[in-house]
A and B are shown apart, each in its own frame.
Chain A
Amino acid sequence: MTGPIPQTDATPKSSALDPNKSFQGLILTLQQFWAQQGAVILQPYDMEVGAGTFHPATTLRSLGKKPWKAAYVQPSRRPKDGRYGENPNRLQHYYQFQVILKPSPDDLQNLYLDSLKAIGVDSALHDIRFVEDDWESPTLGAWGLGWECWCDGMEVSQFTYFQQVAGVECAPVSGELTYGLERLAMYVQGVENVYDLNFNGLDGEARISYGDVFLQAEQEYSRHNFEAANVEKLFGDFSRAEAECNALLAFGEKGDDGRHQMALPAYDQCIKASHAFNLLDARGVISVTERQSYILRVRELAKACGAAWLKTEGGGA
């Protein structure tokens, strides 16, 4: 009853690529599915971010009129969620599979359900539900309406129609899908502890588990996030990133055709400031009132970067 979902004919024969048997198979299947829908399959952004939304392919590309379709895995870091590898569900580093489609297609819900089918979630057997969940990112100055998608009571994805990003009204609106990969994999593999996930889909000696790959990292980073990360340095990181972001934005304004020339590098600094803030928050050195002011400072950077992006070719200028 609690075993893995039976394999259907559509799933690959090799268990190494089977989305029901291997973590990487799940990722590859999703990539393949969205590639077939015409999405650009990107690689993870090479910076520390708290969620797939921070990737410029979502944050910045969701602004402006130009159509855009992309899908990618994004390692996400939430320093505060570290549990020293002792909690079966919580991680300070995990994977999101992110899909962004602009404008949101009319059959987005069906596309999403088809993607679940591709990874072996049969809607005749499982209770798939769209439960209200309005999304808001105070640091990105972004909000949207949508749902958390439930499969048999487990939240496996976030589904959002972006209404505003970086303080700018989205016109047109993008549809964003975020699959919580570990949760989804735990579900399809029938596993109750994330570290027991089969990573490579092989058995016996050849089997590599999620724990083999990440347990040590979770332990070390939990120590780092809660105990060791140098607070003075982090405060410095935050201020330097903030200053650099503003400096780069000012530099980019120098273009004489009215276009901005440095939106992307400036946005990197916004990401850095945000991550420094997350670490400071995990270290417990930011009081309730200060917290709000830090969030506002990051949001100001995000808004300025969004405004700059709209003055670039990618932003439709």
Chain B
Amino acid sequence: MSDLLLELFSEEIPARMQAQAAADLKKLVTDALVERGLTYEAAAAFVTPRRLALQIVGLPTRQPDRREERKGPKLGAPEAAVQGFLKSAGLASLDEARIDTDKKGGQFYVAVIEREGAATLDVLAEILPAVIRAFPWPKSMRWGVHSADPNCLRWVRPLHSIVATFGPETEDPEIVPFEIGGVKAGNVTYGHRFMAPQPIKVRRFDDYLPALDRAKVVLDPARRRDIILHDCKDLAFAQGLELVDDEGLLQEVAGLVEWPVVLMGEFDASFLDIPGEVIRATIRANQKCFVLRDPATGKLANKFLLVSNILASDGGRQIAAGNGRVVRARLSDALYFWKTDQAPLPDFSEQGKPLDQRLARLRALDIVFHANLGTQGARVDRVVALARELAPLVGADLEKAARAAELAKADLVTEVVGEFPEVQGLMGRRYAEMQGEDPEVAAAIEDHYKPQGPNDRIPTAPVSIAVALADKLDTLVGFWAIDEKPTGSKDPFALRRAALGVIRLILENGLKVKLGHLSDLAINKGLQFSYSLKLADDQIAGEAKIHSYKSNRNKNFTYSFPTELTEREIISKMRLDAMGAVKAPLIADLLAFFADRLKIDLRDRGARHDLLEAVFALPGQDDLNMIVKRVEALDKFLATEDGASLLAGYKRAANILKAEEKKDGAEAFEAHPQANLRIEPQEHALAAALDRADREAAEKLAAEDFDGALHALSKLRAPVDAFFDHVTVNAENPDLRQNRLRLLAQLRRAMHLVADFSKVGGA
């Protein structure tokens, strides 16, 4: 058994590409080895800003020999076929082929090809350059003299050297012989760019890793991350502070250094007037530094942590001081933006308060939201109008909802959000508070973007809910109307997230609303502000009808059908019909999308897939909270003995019906069973129980009491069991048979009032 060590040493690899590159390198090389019959015991890939490394342990030194039999033509086949066979099998003449006999006694040639396995070293020499040449970097480049050749090697940044050694643990490994892009594989690497740049001769991973460590390179990104996190926490603790966790930044910073050294910097406390989120965004985005907070107050401290790449000869004093100066300059900018946003806006200073002036500017700029959905200004108008309609449905104050919707996007043209888009909404809230908006309005400005992801906070204040729903529904309906739906992995407008947001807002707040109705309201706003060419076309068709009606009327053409409608009503109905024709398929499609998202969401949260299907199979399911309650009630019911047993009875009935419907036709037994055809007591009992359960279940359902409805059904268990124990369904007498099947069909119908039990698995 032998081990491979591969290191690709280059100029600085972008941090965001490193993890994927390590995973790709491992997969590509190991896949290629396995494909060639070379299995291995273990493989691990590592990455630093300057190197991609791969270790594969336990590879055989040779490929296994391979024996292959290839069936050839029949004896006496035409010469051309024989020649083709010889050529493809690499035989000199038919004498080298074996003759086999098939089942029918026909004789044919078989070539036996023995292939000796190649040395793994040679296989590696073939695989490694191929993997390097076709490496899937998100972006790659050419460099140096070789770049004049259009077929030159591309790499993420210039590739300088390659270590590729292969051999058993006990001996000096061999160098895998290959050369690519003018770089010859060898056994020499280099240490830290500044602290140990000398060449280092390596043999295998066992000495490579400690040699790098001595040369101030921590090869494993997970270890660098841990060192950084540990040192950050230590330094913070020593100052009585707490690190503000930031896993994304931690990963990124671990990809920017080979030898992490955490240092603390400082900025003037007067900058703490700037909102903490802006300070954090500034320091994070521009300087890739961590911020700290005072554990007692939760407020940011005027200190930050930076991660340098060297152990400086002065202990890092100058590095910390330099970073401090840059942070101060950046915070000065942020402070300037923050103050500017609160001041009157030139040219718009007559347009009300600061945020209103920004809104006026947003409108004046005519910023396009989407080519087919109009400007940001038009979008604001739609969302305001929709929020007004949604407010009473969610118990929100109408005027507050409208005001929040109006100001919700105004911060997009503020300086701070221009610089740090991630604080949109939050800044709007801050500025709204400062200009004396109602607290509910201010909160809604921030919260209308929420929830952004599955773990985000879900707004609970009615005004926030109204605006959050309005914003998301407007987006969904708009993109649906212009047919820009998500496909496969593509969802450029984050519509799945918007739909999930709507779902979670409704579920978590227990909102008594119907999605179909909400979508309809949103579409009406879209039509009112007419954003869609496609919709406009359909509307034009409707207007044309109205036009022709009017012109016929003007010519005294009388309609032959009797009508009590006035002309106004006729025209209004035509208009509604035209809109309906546009809206109906759109809403149906959007509801199906919502249903899919809801299923995924509920499944992720542990709901049984089959129960979801059973409930969604019922018609007109657009009250999300009812759907969830129904699924929960069903789950609870099936866990009881009555439930499980009734399900078994239902399945038995459904199976019999399915078999008999094949003979008699799909709807053959849907008529109500006849009392005069019952001869067994168990039939009478079941019929009576069914009539009762039917009625009761329907009553409970009307009251949205699913537990009650299921309880009513559960009373069927005993009569159903008794029926199956004593009654032969497929009686010889055809009338009896038909009546008994009708009884079972009635049972099926009763059960389907609550859910389509045929979708329920188990039992």
Contact = CB atoms under 8 A, between A and B. Distances in A.
B20 interface: no
Interface string B317-354: 11101111111110011001000000000000000000
A14 interface: no
B157 A152 contact: no
A152 B321 CA distance: 8
Given A153-B327, A170-B147, A171-B148, A124 B141 contact: no
B313 to A, nearest CB: 5
A106 B158 CA distance: 8
Interface in A117-149: 123-132, 134, 144-147
A131 B368 contact: no
Contacts of A129: 256-257, 309
A11 interface: no
A127 B318 CA distance: 9
A153 B314 contact: no
B15 interface: yes
B144 A103 contact: yes
Contacts, number: 127
A241 to B, nearest CB: 27
B141 A145 contact: yes
Given A103-B148, A147-B12, A288 B365 contact: yes
B144 A154 contact: no
Nearest to B49: A130
A172 interface: yes
A131 B256 contact: yes
B726 interface: no
B160 interface: yes
Contacts of B323: 152-153
Given A129-B309, A132-B15, A147-B12, A172 B322 contact: no
A236 interface: no
Contact of A5 (B144, B149, B156, B318): B318
A154 B287 CA distance: 8
A161 interface: yes
Contact of A106 (B144, B149, B318, B332): B144
B150 interface: yes
B409 to A, nearest CB: 16
A288 B312 CA distance: 47
A187 interface: yes
A88 B194 contact: no
B325 A154 contact: yes
B16 interface: yes
B321 A163 contact: no
Contact of A87 (B142, B321, B326, B336): B336
A130 B318 contact: no
Contacts of B336: 87
B392 to A, nearest CB: 37
B746 interface: no
Contacts of B142: 161, 163, 170, 172-173
Contact of B148 (A5, A125, A126, A172): A172
Nearest to B307: A127
Contacts of B515: none
A128 B312 CA distance: 11
Contacts of A88: 329, 332
Given A132-B15, A163-B142, A173-B142, A153 B326 contact: yes
B11 interface: yes
Contacts of A161: 141-143, 157-158
A132 B16 contact: yes
B145 interface: yes
B327 A2 contact: no
B312 A127 contact: yes
B310 interface: yes
Interface in B711-725: none
A192 B194 contact: no
Nearest to A103: B145
A151 interface: yes
A314 to B, nearest CB: 17
Contacts of B605: none
Nearest to B366: A287
Interface string B282-311: 000001110000000000000000101110
Contacts of A104: 143-144, 147, 158
A144 B257 CA distance: 23
Chain A residues touching B, majority SS: loop
Nearest to A163: B141
Kindly state the interface size class of chain B when it binds its partner.
35 or more
Contact of B318 (A152, A163, A170): A152
A132 B149 CA distance: 25
A130 B11 contact: yes
A161 B155 CA distance: 12
Contacts of B144: 103-106, 172-173
- The residue in A87, A126, A134 that gathers the most chain B C-beta atoms within 10 A of its C-beta is A126
Interface in B383-421: none
A2 B317 CA distance: 9
Contact of B319 (A131, A152, A172, A288): A152
Nearest to A87: B336
Contacts of B143: 103-104, 161, 173, 175
A173 to B, nearest CB: 4
B524 to A, nearest CB: 29
B139 interface: yes
Given A1-B321, A123-B194, A154-B325, A145 B310 contact: no
Nearest to B336: A87
Interface in B2-37: 11-12, 14-16
Contacts of A153: 287, 289, 306, 319, 322-323, 326-327
A127 B157 contact: no
Given A134-B139, A288-B367, A125 B306 contact: no
Contacts of B145: 103, 172
A194 to B, nearest CB: 10
Contacts of A170: 142, 147
B256 A125 contact: no
Nearest to A106: B144
Contact of A89 (B49, B309, B313, B329): B329
A8 interface: no
Contact of A124 (B11, B149, B310): B310
Interface string A173-189: 10100000000000100
B11 A154 contact: no
Nearest to A160: B141
Contacts of B160: 106
Contact of A127 (B15, B310, B333, B368): B310
A109 interface: yes
A192 B321 CA distance: 12
A80 interface: no
B194 A128 contact: yes
Contacts of A126: 312, 318-319, 322
- The residue in B148, B257, B322, B365 that gathers the most chain A C-beta atoms within 10 A of its C-beta is B322
Interface of B: 11-12, 14-16, 49, 139, 141-150, 156-158, 160, 194, 256-257, 287-289, 306, 308-310, 312-314, 317-319, 321-329, 332-333, 336, 365-368
Given A87-B336, A89-B333, A288-B365, 18 more contacts: A103-B148, A125-B314, A126-B322, A127-B308, A127-B319, A127-B322, A129-B309, A132-B16, A145-B156, A152-B308, A152-B322, A153-B306, A161-B158, A172-B146, A172-B147, A173-B141, A173-B143, A192-B329
The list of the 5 closest CB pairs from A to B, nearest first, reads A152-B322, A132-B14, A153-B323, A130-B12, A173-B147
23 contacts: A88-B332, A89-B333, A103-B147, A104-B147, A104-B158, A109-B11, A125-B318, A127-B312, A129-B256, A131-B256, A144-B141, A146-B157, A147-B12, A152-B318, A152-B319, A152-B323, A152-B326, A154-B326, A172-B142, A173-B143, A173-B147, A175-B143, A288-B367
Interface of A: 1-2, 5, 65, 87-89, 103-106, 109, 123-132, 134, 144-147, 151-154, 161, 163, 169-173, 175, 187, 192, 287-289
